[in-house]
Amino acid sequence: VAFAKPMLDIAKTDIEDFLTTQGLTWREDSSNESNKYLRNRVRNELLPLLGDMVGGKDILHKRLESLDEQSRKVKADLLPRAAKYLTESDSTEGNRGIFPIPPGGMFTIVHEQALHTWAESQSGGNLILSYEQVKRVTEQISLYPQKKKWTLHVGKNWNVRRNGDILLIEVNAADSATAVGGNGDVKASW
């Protein structure tokens, strides 16, 4: 879901100044002053504190913009490389429903992104692994390389299952766990 926020980069004071010059009034939502809501605590306490720590709100804003730009650039570089790994894996394995574990179980950031992308694809968009969940899967592989069969619960009714040198996505059914194939259909049962 995409949201358009055309005034996100405009400061509240700039909006108030514009309205004043136009002879218009505005209504302030009284809940904005209360720190009862987390969003208000962030706005009223955390952002001013961070601004003080870095030398002002303008510097904080520039740092956050820089982080956002860097993040977008990393993502733009990473996504095609992860897609390439998945495409090459598909052609060698001939099965889109599996995720081949990298040689030696050594996951790079490209493999981590590929695992994230693969899990979302295999689940029909119903399982979106957080980075913490991706780390749990990769740590399970690196900490226990001798264990070639295991199942790791990754949230709601989803598991990642290791079978040899491949991973499968499982959805917990009422009576049995099933592995999900590339098109979201049930592929195999245990």
155-160: average pLDDT: 90
Mean pLDDT of 24-39: 88
Which position has the token pair 């939502």?
29
CA separation (Å) from 59 to 51, 99, 159?
Answer: 7, 43, 43
Mean per-residue pLDDT, 115-133:
93
Q: Which two tokens stand for residue 157?
A: 């009714």
Q: Are 85 and 114 in contact (CB under 8 A)?
A: yes
Work out the pLDDT band at 174, boundaries 50, 70, 90: very low
The secondary structure of residue 101, as a DSSP letter, is P
Q: Residue 169 in contact with residue 158, Cβ under 8 Å?
A: yes
Output the pTM of the full model.
0.70
Q: SS3 of 33, please? A: helix
